[in-house]
Structure 1
Amino acid sequence: MEGTVKCSANYVPLTPISFLERSAIVYRDRISVVYGDLKFTWAETRDRCARLASALHSLGISRHDIVAVLAPNIPAIYELHFGVPMAGAVLCTLNIRHDSAMVSTLLKHSGAKVIFVDYQLLHIAKGALGNLLKTRSMTPKLVVIPDQASSSSRVSDMYFNNDILEYESFLASGRPDFEVIRPHDEWDPIALNYTSGTTSSPKGVVYSHRGAYLNSLAAALLNEMPSMPVYLWTVPMFHCNGWCLTWAVAAQGGTNVCLRNVTAKGIFECIAKHQVSHMGGAPTVLNMIINAPSVDRRLLPGKVIVMTGAAPPPPHVLFKMEELGFNVTHSYGLTETYGPGTVCTWKPEWNSLPPDAQAKIKARQGLHHLGMEELDIKDPETMQSVPPDTKTRGEVMFRGNTVMNGYFKDSKATADAFKGGWFRSGDVGVKHPDGYIELKDRSKDIIISGGENISSIEVESVIYSHPAVLEAAVVGRPDDYWGETPCAFVKLKDDCNANADEIIKYCRDHLPHYMAPRTVVFGELPKTSTGKIQKFVLRQKAKDMGSLSRTSRL
């Protein structure tokens, strides 16, 4: 348009780095990070992140180089979320449950030049680097993070060669006045996230500065996060960069309460001690809270807003959380959508509904948040939108600025994911008359029994409501007659008893008979670090059990 000009005065690439720089001024002396007795202010955090960026630069790290980290929710991983991009590099957060073989695979794939490792995970790093040496691959520089909660922690005892650096000494070598390297283009990469392991082959998902910036602000909004919130880190920061809340808390000048080991007792203690206002977690974390023994519980200092996601929450779990005084916001997304991509926004007219009905509404996935342009459920073949009849199923698809740049080093997978101009989630859902979507399953988790499609999510929700059940997951088991039938893997609550016949009868009393499981297996359920149940493991177990013969069917 005539008379306009794009220049440095009116265009600056969006980046979450700006959140830290602003908070270091506005909230200079307010507490930014708490970990045990360790505390930092926002001015100190900015200083430490600048030193970290400076030290990385001195080590030869430059634009778009990959810097990895293997650590739980401790101050160092929070600082790396700013220090690494401030050096122009790309942060790659690794799942702390990975073994040495997987870590070495991801280090080789990413080409990481440096890896920061928590002292408790050093043995994993040793094994990973050893594997890389065997294959004559490049090995990244290793920086060991000591126990930041203890001033007497000794890292020197952990050295296995003279090339290892120690985190605090590494920071001290950097300059606080380092000139931050900002992105040339806001579409430049800021993070590389490998999918969480619910499938057998993780892929590298690339985030941009722009997407991270927008999703961080959206996360603050959908969490109803005012200025200076107190956020308890029960969501792993290595998962989707903590659902982008690592950057969102900085945008609001909040306090990050770090929690190395997530337990119900630890959660209640942190909430009481630090006056926590916000937290997050998968439904398994919520389940842990509602089933905490009374001796571990504390009275909440006020309403605690909890964002849940990573898996569809059973209505029963949401109902119990509300009873305890938590206000649960349900979000849905994938690694490819920077974590949360939708939110089930509450409407005042629902307040008059019975509590159980409210919980069922909250269990829906809702609509796209303000940072996402579009959300739809489409026929994956015709790309036509499904009608809002709560019955017609299709694939959940996203389009917007908070969708990944693509899969690192995998152009074919990227093209497949974006086929038709939308990001294809692989999730199956329906649309309600009010436009809200409801997830029915991942496409590979749908159980097809005698020509009927069975949603494992619906069966799991019923099993979760059984008073003796703590956790449940449902997959298909081969069946000679029906093709496959539901197989339930169940973990019971402590001091509770139930047998397979009771679980099956309970399901038949609350579901059409064809949806009830024909097999029930009791025991621990395999999970990722984010609390997702690893259904691919359970599917293999069900397959290994063999076909359910016609004579043995219930």
Structure 2
Amino acid sequence: MTDTVFPPDWAQRTALVVEPTGESVTFAEIEERSNRAAHFFREQGLRIGDTVALLLENRIELLVLAFAAQRCGLYYAAVNTHLTSAEIDYIVEDCGASLVVSSSRCHLAVTKPEIRRFSVDPVETEGWHILDLEPYPGNPVADQAEGDFLLYSSGTTGRPKGIERPLTGGEFGSYPDIPGKWLSGLLGLVPGDVYLTPAPLYHAAPLAWTMGALRQGTTAVVMERFDASLALELIERHRVTHSQWVPTMFVRMLKLDPEVRHRFDLSSHRVAVHAAAACPIEVKRQMIDWWGPILFEFYSSTEGVGATSIFSDDWLRKPGSVGRPLIGKIEILDDDHRPVDTGVVGTIWFSGGSNFRYHGDAAKTADAHDAEGRATVGDLGWMDEDGYLYLADRRADLIISGGVNVYPREIEDALILHPDVLDIAVVGLPDEEMGHRVVAFVQPRPDSTVPVDLLSRALTEFCRDSLAKFKIPREFRFVEELPRTPTGKLRKHELLLR
């Protein structure tokens, strides 16, 4: 085992760049600062197994503090900075954080006076202490041990759930860094490569994969917020070799003006990872046509119940699939918990994945597990004859209209291809005759010149080519913006209240 995160020979290499500001740090600086922060946590009374909440935007301090918590055996809850004060207070209280570290932009979002509060910015705010790490030693704490993140689900169907995995209890350096192993083993990442993270680090995959990339000796380029054209520019500027995306980012890049899309040199780009949500088949096909067969898709969850993966060449043979198991074994079960036939939709259950629980919620934890040791996050899908998994939808999103199952994702995948649609969400709203009716919430492109009444008719006609009549939305509602998390997941429960 080792006392350090990064080998000494990496010391003066650039570890992290934040864009568009260009602020950067070396591996040696992350090593030293995370050691100082670990001593700070110990001085504040945090011991192995305790929790710290990190309410920070994409910035250097977030990763420094995450590595500090990781190296001194803490749980670290990275909190979504876009939540309301009530939602943030709920997470900070629910996770049992002993203290919260935030930035001046988020100070007013934390209202719990009983929580010790520290700011990474030198801005005086009542109830907040300025975090100064300079007085603390730059060497490791004596009792280093592996910690872990305690992240909350996106809350797309209700209140976020804290997903807690038992600490390994191992010495520092023994952490089972699965993203890092995938990057180096599956995806050919080597020290000196460049990894682009365009998504918020308070979500599981961006945080875990960025930390994993850094542990492999890669320079991580982190975007403060996603911008389609800037992302392409950064691939050229930093000679990015590996990157990670969500499907909505693909859609935004594909809908850029062709002159902008093809302005940048992307020849350094070897692997583009994507996950977090199902990718429409035609969107992914267009991305492969544009970037080449460099897309690597994985399907998993923060809970870590299991994972599948698929490379582009395989996907072109099996369009729409999320691949075969990479972690765990898959079984598709019906509502009576019986196995279904090949090609039949059911609930996806994994065995052999990570052990987890929903923090403070024994009932939800029990619902996600069965007596045979399998676990599920409630996704629906089916397997083909070759053992490839295909996603149908979230059970919570399923629409039953006139007694027939309607999968919103299929409709969304069709409508997003319309040239005047920037974003789309399909939900089922109560209907006296059908039980539920299919309703599409549409965010038109800003440059669309089609009047709303004509666009409704145009979208209906557009659907006729690819959807059965009962799947075509009965109603289109036009909105300025859909309620998505920054990682692209729809908060559909908010649409049901409109």
TM-score when normalising by structure 2? 0.90
Equivalent runs, 1:349-388 vs 2, <5 Å:
358=316, 361-369=318-326, 372-382=327-337, 384-388=338-342
Would you tell me which structure has more helix in proportion to its own residues? 1
2:296 matches 1:329: yes
- Aligned residue in 1 for 2:463: 507
- Aligned residue in 1 for 2:367: 416
Secondary structure (helix, strand or coil) at the match of 1:72 reads: coil
- Aligned residue in 2 for 1:520: 476
Distance 1:241 1:62 in 2: 26
Number of aligned residues: 481
2:149 matches 1:164: no
Q: CA separation of 1:453/1:407 partners in 2, compared to 1, >3 Å: closer, same or farther?
A: same
Displacement of 1:222 in angstroms is 4.8
Distance 1:243 1:375 in 2: 26
2:130 matches 1:174: no
Distance 1:367 1:377 in 2: 13
Q: CA separation of 1:98/1:207 partners in 2, compared to 1, >3 Å: closer, same or farther?
A: same
Distance 2:423 2:23 in 1: 35
Are the equivalent residues in 2 in contact too, given 1:86–1:181 (CA < 8 A)?
Answer: no
AA matched with 1:378: L
Distance 1:346 1:218 in 2: 20
From 135, 148, 160, the counterpart of 1:190: 148
2:82 matches 1:73: no
From 504, 522, 535, the counterpart of 2:492: 535
Equivalent runs, 1:37-436 vs 2, <5 Å:
37-124=22-109, 128-129=110-111, 132-133=112-113, 138-139=114-115, 141-146=116-121, 155-156=122-123, 158-161=124-127, 164-166=129-131, 169=132, 171-179=133-141, 181-183=143-145, 190-209=148-167, 213-220=176-183, 221-240=185-204, 242=206, 244-293=208-257, 294-295=259-260, 298-325=264-291, 327-337=294-304, 341-347=307-313, 358=316, 361-369=318-326, 372-382=327-337, 384-388=338-342, 390=343, 392-401=344-353, 403-420=354-371, 421-436=373-388
Distance 1:244 1:362 in 2: 27
Give CA deviations for 1:20-48 in whole Å, capped at 9, x if unaligned: 93633352332111123432222221111
Are the equivalent residues in 1 in contact too, given 2:199–2:225 (CA < 8 A)?
Answer: no
Distance 2:142 2:349 in 1: 37
Secondary structure (helix, strand or coil) at the match of 1:62 reads: coil
RMSD (Å), alpha carbons: 2.4
Distance 2:90 2:444 in 1: 36
Distance 1:404 1:199 in 2: 23
| Structure 1 residues without counterparts, runs of 5 or longer | 1-11, 13-17, 147-154, 351-357, 542-554
Are the equivalent residues in 1 in contact too, given 2:438–2:472 (CA < 8 A)?
Answer: yes
Q: CA separation of 1:206/1:225 partners in 2, compared to 1, >3 Å: closer, same or farther?
A: same
Give CA deviations for 1:379-420 in whole Å, capped at 9, x if unaligned: 2423x33222x2x1111112234x352111112221221123
Q: CA separation of 1:488/1:78 partners in 2, compared to 1, >3 Å: closer, same or farther?
A: same
Identical-residue share of aligned pairs (%): 27
| Structure 2 residues without counterparts, runs of 5 or longer | 169-173
Are the equivalent residues in 2 in contact too, given 1:48–1:176 (CA < 8 A)?
Answer: yes
Secondary structure (helix, strand or coil) at the match of 1:386 reads: coil
Secondary structure (helix, strand or coil) at the match of 1:500 reads: helix
Greater Cα shift, 297-306 or 268-277: 297-306
TM-score when normalising by structure 1? 0.81
Distance 2:247 2:235 in 1: 18
AA matched with 1:410: D
Distance 1:399 1:203 in 2: 21
Distance 2:476 2:202 in 1: 34
Q: CA separation of 1:218/1:198 partners in 2, compared to 1, >3 Å: closer, same or farther?
A: farther
Secondary structure (helix, strand or coil) at the match of 2:148 reads: strand
Q: CA separation of 1:122/1:205 partners in 2, compared to 1, >3 Å: closer, same or farther?
A: same
AA matched with 1:379: D
Greater Cα shift, 527-536 or 174-183: 174-183
Secondary structure (helix, strand or coil) at the match of 1:67 reads: strand
Distance 1:206 1:46 in 2: 26
Displacement of 1:100 in angstroms is 1.0
AA matched with 2:118: V
